[in-house]
């Protein structure tokens, strides 16, 4: 249907009726108007990509429109920034993950500023995280550009929440049209097969006795409070038929996609390797069928057959039945049996390319089964499938394992893997981690996901404003952190600083605040700690503490005040205090090595303090094991703190310390003995 909405993609053959765009028939639109105003996104992101690099891919459409080069560069730069593609701007398109490819395709289409955006199953090949990010981006485009969006999807849970209107197609006809709630009620009323594709909240409404809602977060929370159980699997045992140990593989020298990966697959089981797009799942399958070079050991004495992610790669004939006969004319009876099992008998004489995405996947499975494999490798087999096709596909896989076949799946479809896999392993950092039965493995994933979500909700809410013993404890902790800063302020006042000294300190605080705001785009790479250290070096420990703590308070009027502010005050304040102590004998000024070490330690100590706040924000009190876990997850950010401290200290210290010493001398901040030393120098 979607191809009838785009002039350049109109299918051949007889057509009746008409499709109007802006009062004109689609086929009568001028080429320039059609290309520019009607954007189209293919189901398979790889099929849409033409150029070798991301930059050229985004610029391709603009170049065809005849846009001047300088204007084209500006437009591409704007689009790259809008879609946050800076990190992959110069990457080769064939090295991108599925989610990245789809985002680049969307950026390339949006660069031409279309009025209508048409998307064919845009999330079918994306993992859950990438799928959510993509849909959020679509909502943003709709809101900010007033863009009309038309999309098809088998996953109603994804689209119903964001849709203004839904159209249900069945057997080439519109059976229902209206707002999402009306359509959902209709499907439930007639017990249509698509009812199984409705959001969980609608399918389980009666069972859980919850109110109808299209706020999916609210819906999931209601279900979570009631009941939710994954299908339990019994422990699977069998002899090892496929063994991989210490596997290394990559597409570029020195860049391993797979790193020290090891896994054993048992005879007659369904093993699922899950992970995000770009985690190396497809690369692993390529190594298993020896389509790419690798280092390590791979042992297998069974016949392996591989089904690629794109099923169309297997089709060579114009008719499905003829295509399947390519595997052997003596297998005609078996073909009919498999077509019947797969509910594809009616499509027997259809062109493979005319099948839906789910039907193509089923047809591709039939074709590889005709090769009589003992081990079957499946790359994202459920992409493009609705729940009904996914169920039939899973049941077919179960029947195959009953016949002794072994199945290895890579997928981002957690629900499918939970229901049909015997064991599940997570692809992460080039390895398969945490292999377990689905009920145990996915329970851990869900628990982690819920904890992260809970932390986000807490950070967004006034978590410390109301009741609860643990929250009261956290509030007391924050109050104690605030109190701990007071002695340092008294220590400064006890010095009886000159007015001009206070003025200079105020200037340093203002510069520190300005430096934080200037680098607002980079959460971890900021010169704040370096400025605080320099202030402590120049004016002493008391001034260093005030510079650090007050800079946190003042800058948070821009970044946002909250329970985290006292922790920032204490962390930066102590960094300034210690730098003043260490520089009493000019240790930091005169030794670049000590300055570097202190910059690194400052980054680590800041992370340690702020991670206490992160743990307390979760609302479960302080626990050492959880604190260690939080520290572990924050290592990349901590490294960024350390690197930024060292870089800014190297750049700023020679300039600032020299100028601040001149200020101190000019306005008489030095003690008499210090003046004598300075003169002697």
Give the pairing type, strands 166-170 and 173-178.
Answer: antiparallel
pLDDT tens sequence across 555-606? 887 777 767 788 888 899 999 999 999 988 888 888 999 999 999 999 999 9
Q: What value does the mean pLDDT take over residues 32-61?
A: 87
Taking the C-alpha atoms of residue 247 and residue 263, their distance in angstroms, rounded to an integer, is 9
In a 13 Å sphere around the CA of 247, the CA atoms on its Cβ side amount to 29
**Are the beta carbons of 112 and 61 closer than 8 angstroms?**
yes
Sheet holding 270-274, edge to edge: 304-307, 375-379, 406-411, 270-274, 423-428, 431-436
pLDDT value of position 202: 58
Torsion of CA 287, 293, 295, 297, to 10 degrees: 40
Computed over every residue of the chain, the mean pLDDT equals 78
pLDDT value of position 618: 55
Taking the C-alpha atoms of residue 465 and residue 600, their distance in angstroms, rounded to an integer, is 36
Q: Considering only 7-16, 359-368, 400-409, 469-478, which range has the smallest mean pLDDT?
A: 469-478
CA 436-440-442 angle, to 5 degrees, is 90
Taking the C-alpha atoms of residue 354 and residue 172, their distance in angstroms, rounded to an integer, is 13
Structure tokens at 611: 């991670």
Taking the C-alpha atoms of residue 266 and residue 404, their distance in angstroms, rounded to an integer, is 11
pLDDT value of position 617: 62
> Sign of torsion, CA 676 677 680 681?
negative
CA 99-281-265 angle, to 5 degrees, is 155
Give 416's pLDDT tier (boundaries 50, 70, 90): confident
Q: Does the structure show a pLDDT above 50 at 245? A: yes
Structure tokens at 656: 């600032």
Q: Does the structure show a pLDDT above 60 at 63? A: yes
Q: What value does the mean pLDDT take over residues 166-174?
A: 84
- Write out the H or E segment, with its range, that includes residue 646: helix 635-666
Give 205's pLDDT tier (boundaries 50, 70, 90): low
Residue in 165, 179, 250, 247 with CA at minimum distance from that of residue 212: 179
Better pLDDT: 180 or 457? 180
Structure tokens at 667: 């306005």
Distances (CA, A) of 635 to 523, 604, 632, 642, 646: 14, 9, 6, 10, 17
Taking the C-alpha atoms of residue 652 and residue 533, their distance in angstroms, rounded to an integer, is 10
Give 219's pLDDT tier (boundaries 50, 70, 90): very low
Helix (H, G, I), strand (E, B) or coil at 315: coil
**Are the beta carbons of 632 and 624 closer than 8 angstroms?**
no
Structure tokens at 240: 């090892």
CA 503 to chain centre: 47
Q: What value does the mean pLDDT take over residues 638-643?
A: 90
Q: Does the structure show a pLDDT above 50 at 206? A: no
**pTM for this one?**
0.45
Taking the C-alpha atoms of residue 603 and residue 452, their distance in angstroms, rounded to an integer, is 24
Query: What residues are paired with 169 via a beta bridge?
Result: 174
Neighbouring residues of 197: CB distance < 8 A, sequence distance ≥ 6: 154, 155, 156, 157, 386, 387, 388
Structure tokens at 1: 């249907």
Q: Percent of the chain scored above 70 by pLDDT?
A: 79
Q: Considering only 404-418, 437-451, 515-529, which range has the smallest mean pLDDT?
A: 437-451
What b/e readout covers 157-174, taking b as 16+ CB neighbours within 10 angstroms?
A: bbbbbbbeebebeeeeee
**Residue 267 region by backbone torsions, left for phi larger than 0, else alpha for psi between -120 and 50, else beta:** beta
- Write out the H or E segment, with its range, that includes residue 580: helix 565-582
Neighbouring residues of 453: CB distance < 8 A, sequence distance ≥ 6: none
First to last CA, the chain: 85
Per-residue three-class SS string for 410-460 = EECCHHHHHHHCCEEEEEECCEEEEEECHHHHHHHHHHHHHHHHHHHHHHH
CA 361 to chain centre: 26
Better pLDDT: 350 or 328? 350
pLDDT value of position 479: 56
Taking the C-alpha atoms of residue 54 and residue 84, their distance in angstroms, rounded to an integer, is 12
Q: What value does the mean pLDDT take over residues 606-633?
A: 73
Give the pairing type, strands 295-300 and 240-249.
Answer: antiparallel
Q: Does the structure show a pLDDT above 80 at 663? A: no
Q: What value does the mean pLDDT take over residues 192-219?
A: 55
Give 30's pLDDT tier (boundaries 50, 70, 90): confident
| Count helices and strands in the chain by DSSP H and E runs | 28, 16
């Amino acid at each position: 249907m979607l191809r009838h909405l785009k002039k350049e993609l109109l299918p051949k053959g007889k057509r009746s009726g008409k499709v109007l765009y802006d009062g004109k028939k689609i086929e009568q639109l001028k080429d320039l108007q059609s290309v520019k105003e009607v954007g189209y996104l293919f189901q398979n992101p790889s099929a849409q990509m033409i150029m070798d690099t991301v930059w050229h891919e985004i610029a391709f459409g603009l170049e065809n429109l005849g846009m001047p080069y300088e204007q084209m560069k500006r437009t591409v730069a704007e689009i790259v920034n809008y879609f946050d593609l800076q990190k992959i701007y110069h990457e080769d398109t064939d090295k991108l993950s599925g989610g990245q490819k789809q985002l680049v395709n969307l950026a390339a289409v949006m660069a031409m500023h279309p009025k209508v955006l048409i998307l064919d199953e845009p999330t079918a090949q994306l993992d859950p995280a990438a799928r959510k990010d993509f849909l959020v981006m679509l909502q943003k485009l709709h809101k900010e550009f007033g863009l009309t969006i038309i999309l098809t999807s088998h996953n109603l849970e994804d689209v119903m929440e964001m849709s203004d209107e839904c159209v249900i197609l069945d057997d080439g006809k519109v059976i229902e049209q209206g707002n999402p709630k009306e359509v959902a009620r209709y499907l439930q009323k007639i017990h249509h097969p698509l009812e199984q594709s409705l959001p969980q909240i609608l399918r389980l409404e009666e069972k859980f006795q919850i109110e109808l809602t299209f706020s999916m977060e609210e819906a999931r929370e209601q279900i979570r409070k009631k009941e939710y159980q994954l299908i339990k699997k019994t422990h699977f045992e069998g002899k090892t038929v496929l063994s991989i140990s210490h596997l290394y593989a990559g597409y570029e020298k020195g860049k391993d996609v797979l790193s020290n990966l090891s896994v054993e697959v048992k005879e007659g089981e369904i093993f699922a390797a899950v992970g995000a797009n770009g985690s190396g799942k497809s690369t692993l399958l390529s190594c298993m069928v020896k389509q790419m070079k690798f280092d390590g050991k791979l042992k297998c004495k069974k016949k392996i057959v591989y089904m690629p992610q794109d099923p169309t790669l297997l089709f060579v004939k114009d008719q499905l039945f003829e295509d399947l006969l390519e595997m052997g004319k003596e297998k005609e009876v078996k073909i009919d049996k498999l077509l019947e099992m797969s509910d594809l008998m009616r499509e027997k004489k259809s062109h493979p390319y005319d099948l839906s995405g789910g039907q193509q996947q089923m047809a591709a499975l039939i074709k590889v089964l005709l090769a009589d494999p003992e081990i079957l490798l499946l790359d994202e087999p459920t992409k493009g499938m609705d729940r009904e096709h996914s169920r039939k596909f899973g049941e077919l896989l179960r029947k195959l394992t009953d016949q002794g076949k072994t199945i290895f799946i890579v997928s981002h479809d957690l629900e499918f893997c939970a229901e049909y896999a015997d064991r599940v392993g997570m692809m992460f950092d080039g390895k398969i981690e945490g292999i377990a039965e689905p009920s145990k493995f996915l329970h851990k994933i869900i628990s982690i996901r819920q904890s992260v979500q809970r932390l986000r909700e807490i950070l967004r809410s006034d978590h410390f404003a109301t009741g609860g013993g643990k929250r009261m404890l956290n509030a007391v902790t924050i109050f104690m952190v605030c109190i701990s800063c007071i002695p340092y302020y008294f220590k400064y006042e006890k010095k009886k600083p000159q007015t001009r000294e206070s003025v200079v300190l105020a200037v340093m605080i203002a510069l520190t605040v300005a430096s934080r705001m200037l680098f607002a785009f980079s959460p971890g790479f900021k010169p704040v700690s370096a400025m605080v250290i320099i202030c402590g070096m120049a004016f002493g420990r008391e001034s260093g503490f005030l510079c650090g703590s007050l800079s946190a308070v003042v800058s948070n009027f821009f970044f946002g005040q909250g329970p985290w502010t006292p922790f920032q005050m204490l962390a930066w304040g102590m960094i300034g205090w210690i730098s003043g102590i260490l520089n009493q004998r000019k240790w930091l000024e005169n030794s670049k090595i000590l300055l570097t070490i202190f910059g690194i330690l400052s980054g680590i100590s800041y992370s340690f303090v702020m991670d206490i706040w992160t743990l307390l924000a979760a609302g479960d009190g302080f626990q050492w094991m959880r604190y260690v876990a939080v520290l572990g997850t924050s290592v990349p950010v901590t490294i960024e703190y350390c690197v930024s401290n060292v870089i800014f200290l190297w750049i700023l210290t020679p300039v600032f310390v020299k100028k601040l010493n001149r200020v101190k001398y000019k306005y008489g901040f030095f003690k008499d003995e210090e003046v004598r030393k300075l003169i002697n120098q």
